[in-house]
């Protein structure tokens, strides 16, 4: 794969429309199309992840520990009961949410969260529960996976959830910031992507299943803090975007058993300016498909496949926290061929990006007064 370095630092639509108030609407120009960005819902405290229900409503997590249903007219439900208690410290809390591929049949919802394990220590965990028919609770909630070891720090939880085409669940796990050397150690879950069955067991065909001294859930190693992940719509491969330090945010296509280098190789430097690791390349370690220097602080991604933005089909839309924008990456096979930076005028930290069932693009803003935004073509 070629690394491309960037040197520059409709029923659902009609139903949502009444809440898009004039003062919450901006018209913005992009390279390919003029867009309108409008507020669908507001008053969410640091929303982190969202998933569309079959009827067009959304499940949205709030980092302090709440899971809500957002109706098609933008109203927020009361927080659902049955949600596991989240360790809301630093970057931790209630994080991503994903529906079971068989949701129409089993109504299972999966959430990732920072879990207090006692003694001042915590780790990323995944729980599942059944959304009741009233949409007010998760029933029979149980934790199916726990990152080991736990740690006292409050940063780098990772935590995106993506189901593969076989119904197994990818979970991205951060290096917990000051344990970064452990991202190279296959005996633990730090700085790893794991692949588990819906009940939390190691998925079949994982690379370390029968290897002594390793964790059988591991899919790939050498990651820093992956907060964006999605399946490629054609190949079914997992693509991820992860945070670098100062520089070195990466797009990767994590493959079975491979090593993505952190912290031995990186295109970034430490926050102090000190060099990290051995450089930018080493035999046996994978190069990113694309990277940013300086960092944009990426979070949330979606492959665009809809019909509302034909010129964007095949693009990856990536949210950015520090840069307060949406990055549109043009792709050709397993390569990134160009980038457009959009929505800088919003001035919002973008935490998650999803394509809605209506073909429009939905964004979560990371703020104590967070919003759900919808991006649609201008009239």
Tokens encoding 16: 């949502």
Cα 102 from Cα 176, distance rounded (Å): 32
Q: Is the pLDDT of residue 5 over 80?
A: no
- Which pLDDT tens digit goes with each residue over 199-216? 999 999 999 999 999 999
Give the distance from CA 2 to its chain's centroid.
Answer: 23
| Average pLDDT along the chain | 94
Report whether pLDDT(281) > 90. Answer: yes
Instruction: Report the pLDDT value the prediction gives residue 215, as an integer from 0 to 100.
Output: 98
Query: Which secondary structure element, helix H or strand E, spans residue 11, and what is its range?
Result: helix 11-16
Q: Would you state the pLDDT for residue 24?
A: 82
Domains of the chain: 4-377 (2.120.10.30)
Is 189 assigned a catalytic role?
A: no
pLDDT of 231 reads 98
Task: Tell me the C-alpha distance between 219 and 203, whole Å.
Answer: 9
Tell how strand 226-231 and strand 238-242 pair up: antiparallel
CA distances from 330 to 150, 304, 311, 314, 357 (A): 38, 10, 10, 7, 22
Q: How far apart are CA 323 and CA 345, in angstroms?
A: 11
Read off the pLDDT of residues 28-66 as tens digits, 9 standing for 90 and up: 999 999 999 999 999 999 999 999 999 999 999 999 999
Encode pLDDT of 299-333 as tens digits: 999 999 999 999 999 999 999 999 999 999 999 99
Q: pTM, whole model, 2 decimals? A: 0.94
The pLDDT of residue 20 is above 60:
no
Q: Is the pLDDT of residue 23 over 60?
A: no
Catalytic choice (87, 151, 156, 189): 156
pLDDT at 14: 33
Query: What is the pLDDT confidence band of residue 354, given thresholds at 50, 70 and 90?
Result: very high
Which is more confident, 224 or 18?
224
């Amino acid at each position: 794969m070629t690394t491309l370095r960037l040197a520059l630092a409709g029923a659902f639509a009609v139903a949502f429309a009444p809440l898009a108030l004039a003062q919450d609407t901006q018209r913005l120009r992009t390279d390919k199309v003029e867009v309108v960005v409008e507020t669908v819902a507001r008053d969410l405290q640091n929303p982190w992840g969202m998933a569309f229900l079959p009827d067009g409503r959304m499940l949205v997590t709030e980092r302090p520990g709440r899971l809500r249903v957002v109706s098609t007219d933008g109203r927020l439900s009361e927080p659902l009961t049955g949600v596991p208690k989240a360790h809301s410290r630093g970057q931790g809390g209630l994080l991503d949410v994903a529906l079971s591929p068989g949701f129409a049949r089993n109504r299972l919802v999966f959430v990732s969260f920072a879990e207090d394990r006692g003694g001042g220590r915590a780790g990323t965990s995944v729980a599942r529960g059944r959304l009741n028919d009233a949409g007010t609770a998760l029933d029979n909630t149980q934790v199916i996976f726990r990152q080991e070891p736990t740690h006292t720090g409050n940063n780098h939880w990772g935590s995106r959830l993506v189901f593969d085409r076989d119904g197994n669940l990818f979970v991205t796990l951060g290096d917990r910031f000051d344990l970064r050397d452990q991202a190279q150690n296959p005996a633990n879950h730090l700085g790893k992507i794991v692949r588990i069955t819906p009940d939390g067991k190691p998925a079949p065909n994982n690379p370390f299943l029968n290897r002594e001294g390793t964790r059988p859930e591991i899919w790939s190693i050498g990651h820093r803090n992956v907060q964006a992940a999605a399946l490629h719509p054609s190949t079914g491969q997992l693509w991820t975007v992860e945070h670098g330090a100062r520089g070195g945010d990466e797009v990767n296509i994590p493959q079975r058993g491979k090593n993505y280098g952190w912290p031995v190789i990186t295109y970034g430097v430490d926050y102090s300016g000190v060099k990290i690791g051995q450089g930018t390349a080493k035999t046996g370690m994978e190069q990113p498909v694309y990277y940013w220097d300086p960092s944009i602080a990426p979070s949330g991604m979606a492959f665009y496949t809809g019909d509302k933005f034909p010129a964007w089909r095949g693009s990856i839309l990536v949210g950015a926290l520090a840069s307060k924008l949406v990055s549109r990456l043009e792709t050709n096979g397993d390569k990134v061929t160009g980038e457009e930076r959009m929505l800088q005028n919003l001035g919002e930290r973008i935490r998650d990006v999803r394509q809605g069932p209506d073909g429009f693009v939905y964004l979560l803003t990371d703020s104590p007064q967070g919003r759900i935004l919808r991006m649609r073509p201008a009239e």
